[in-house]
């Protein structure tokens, strides 16, 4: 019995030094590619035929912009909106182009940095009553009258972009009372006789205001009187309020980016002037004359060239002055006639 216990103790002592390692799996490990792998392996998506046609049309938009009202009626609404975006980027957008392309089914309108005025904006507001996002930033010709037309005729407006230049900043500050929702005072016998459009006023559907350079007073006023309007929203991975910021409300993304995303950017790119080749100075060449010395030499050469003409002109003016004096002054004329008579007597 004691012998068996001793054998077990020896086996336990010998096994205590043995390290058991798990058997490695014979199957190969799965390859997990990194993010850069997808970037290089992802091929560029070919552009659509419609996008290629719009790119060709946009490159020659200056040639047809004056007659765009004649053939714009044959374009579908999304093509009109794409042409409008290209015209804005090529700085060709004005009231005439905007009213020619306006379509009632539009939901976004980006006229930032254009020459659109209150007249064109009011016309589009009457036609496109379903607009929910508008960008009027950097529009120096739009005033509070144009913004009032938008608020009045576009009840679904949720996103508004403004500011960007001194004139647009001034217009945005003056439009605070127009953007704030308000209730009108009405007197009727029964509440059933009240019209909902007459009771409310202002931008009732406005939720996002993109105004990068908003002043503190305007920001405090909007925060106090319009708490549901978010000013300059920023995307956040921690969305506690469960209200996702739409792409149209991000200042870093152009409002019409999704419309021209598939169009080649060369369509509206401004071609830069070709760079002149840089020539190295020749060490054996004579030193270059300074620009001030060039001007002095040119002036001296001009004076030397014009000196004979100037002297001739002075002689002509002197003779003309003497002749006028002789014709107008009686004493000088009598002296001249007497001298002429004496010369004639000497000859005879």
Domain for residue 52, yes or no? Answer: yes
* Cα 170 to Cα 140: distance, rounded to the nearest angstrom: 10
* Cα 160 to Cα 164: distance, rounded to the nearest angstrom: 13
Q: Are residues 121 and 96 in the same domain?
A: no
A 10 A CB-CB count for 339 gives 10
Q: Are residues 99 and 111 in the same domain?
A: no
Average pLDDT over residues 61-77: 87
* Cα 135 to Cα 257: distance, rounded to the nearest angstrom: 12
Q: Are residues 68 and 174 in the same domain?
A: no
Name the β-bridge partners of 161: 135, 210
* H or E stretch at 231: strand 230-231
Q: pTM surpassing 0.85?
A: no
61, 86 in Cβ contact below 8 A? yes
Q: Which residue has the tokens 């064109």?
A: 120
Q: Are residues 112 and 227 in the same domain?
A: yes
pLDDT of residue 26: 46
Domain for residue 245, yes or no? Answer: yes
Domain for residue 56, yes or no? Answer: yes
Q: Are residues 224 and 134 in the same domain?
A: yes
Q: Are residues 77 and 122 in the same domain?
A: no
Instruction: Quick: pLDDT tens for 192-213.
Output: 555 554 545 667 889 999 999 9
A 10 A CB-CB count for 124 gives 27
* Cα 8 to Cα 301: distance, rounded to the nearest angstrom: 124
Domain for residue 207, yes or no? Answer: yes
What 266-271 contacts at long range (C-beta under 8 Å, 24+ apart), as own/partner pairs, is: 266/55, 266/59, 267/54, 267/55, 267/58, 267/59, 267/86, 267/89, 268/58, 268/86, 268/89, 268/90
Length of the chain: 348
Sheet-wide strand order for 108-110: 108-110, 133-135, 159-161, 208-210, 230-231
The domain total for the chain is: 2
54: buried, middle or exposed (CB in 10 Å: 19+, 13-18, 0-12)? buried
Q: Are residues 149 and 90 in the same domain?
A: no
Residue 75 vs residues 66, 116, 284: alpha-carbon distances, Å: 16, 22, 66
Domain for residue 305, yes or no? Answer: no
pLDDT of residue 169 exceeding 70, the answer is: yes
Q: Are residues 109 and 238 in the same domain?
A: yes
For every residue of 72-126, which 3-state class applies, written as one string? HHHCCHHHHHHHHHHHHHCCCCCHHHHHHHCCCCCCEEECCCCCCCHHHHHHHHH
Looking at 208, 235, 254, the residue that finishes a domain is 254
Instruction: Quick: pLDDT tens for 119-138.
Output: 999 999 999 999 999 999 99
Q: Are residues 92 and 233 in the same domain?
A: no
Q: Are residues 94 and 128 in the same domain?
A: no
DSSP letter (8 states) at residue 21: -
Instruction: Quick: pLDDT tens for 306-343.
Output: 999 999 999 999 888 888 877 787 777 777 788 888 88
A 10 A CB-CB count for 56 gives 11
DSSP letter (8 states) at residue 110: E
Domain for residue 108, yes or no? Answer: yes
Banded pLDDT at 237 (limits 50, 70, 90): low
Residue 177 in tokens: 């009372």
Looking at 228, 254, 280, the residue that finishes a domain is 254
Looking at 62, 80, 103, the residue that finishes a domain is 103
Q: Are residues 111 and 249 in the same domain?
A: yes
3-state secondary structure of 108: strand
CATH code, domain carrying 205? 3.80.10
Question: What is the per-residue DSSP string for 158-211?
Answer: -EEE--SSHHHHHHHHHTHHHHS-EE-----SSGGG--HHHHEES-TT--EEE-
Banded pLDDT at 106 (limits 50, 70, 90): very high
Instruction: Quick: pLDDT tens for 77-89.
Output: 999 999 999 999 9
Domain residue limits at 82: 47-103
Q: Is 53 left (phi over 0), alpha (psi -120 to 50) or beta?
A: alpha
* Cα 333 to Cα 335: distance, rounded to the nearest angstrom: 5
Domain for residue 231, yes or no? Answer: yes
pLDDT of residue 190: 55
Q: Are residues 126 and 147 in the same domain?
A: yes
Domain for residue 29, yes or no? Answer: no
272: buried, middle or exposed (CB in 10 Å: 19+, 13-18, 0-12)? exposed
């Amino acid at each position: 019995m004691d012998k068996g216990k001793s054998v077990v103790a020896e086996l336990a002592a010998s096994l205590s030094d043995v390290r058991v390692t798990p058997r490695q799996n014979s199957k190969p490990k799965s390859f997990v590619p990194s993010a850069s792998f997808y970037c290089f392996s992802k091929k560029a998506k070919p552009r659509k035929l419609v996008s290629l046609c719009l790119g060709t049309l946009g490159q020659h938009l200056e040639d047809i912009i004056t007659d765009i009202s004649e053939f714009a009626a044959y374009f579908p609404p999304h093509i009109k909106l794409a042409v409008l975006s290209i015209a804005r980027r090529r700085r060709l957008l004005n009231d005439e182009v905007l009213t020619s392309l306006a379509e009632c089914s539009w939901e976004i309108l980006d006229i930032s940095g254009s020459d659109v005025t209150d007249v064109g904006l009011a016309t589009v507001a009457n036609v496109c009553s379903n607009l929910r996002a508008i960008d009027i930033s950097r529009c120096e010709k739009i005033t509070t009258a144009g913004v009032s037309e938008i608020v009045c005729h576009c009840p679904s407006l949720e996103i508004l972009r403004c500011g960007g230049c001194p004139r647009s900043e001034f217009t945005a500050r003056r439009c605070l009372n127009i953007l704030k929702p308000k209730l009108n005072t009405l007197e009727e016998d029964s509440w059933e006789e009240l019209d909902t459009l007459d009771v409310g006023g202002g931008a009732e559907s406005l939720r996002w205001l993109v105004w990068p350079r908003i002043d503190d007073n305007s920001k405090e006023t909007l925060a106090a009187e319009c708490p549901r309007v978010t000013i300059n929203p920023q995307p956040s991975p921690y969305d506690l309020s469960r209200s996702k910021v739409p792409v149209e409300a991000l200042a870093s993304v152009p409002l019409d980016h999704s419309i021209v995303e598939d169009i080649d950017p060369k369509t509206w790119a401004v071609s830069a002037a070709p760079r002149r080749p840089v020539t190295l100075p020749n060490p054996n060449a004579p030193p270059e004359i300074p620009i001030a010395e060039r001007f002095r030499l040119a002036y001296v050469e001009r004076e030397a060239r014009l000196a004979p003409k100037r002297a001739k002109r002075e002689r002509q003016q002197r003779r003309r002055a003497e002749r006028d004096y002789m014709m107008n002054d009686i004493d000088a004329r009598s002296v001249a006639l007497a001298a002429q008579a004496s010369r004639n007597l000497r000859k005879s």
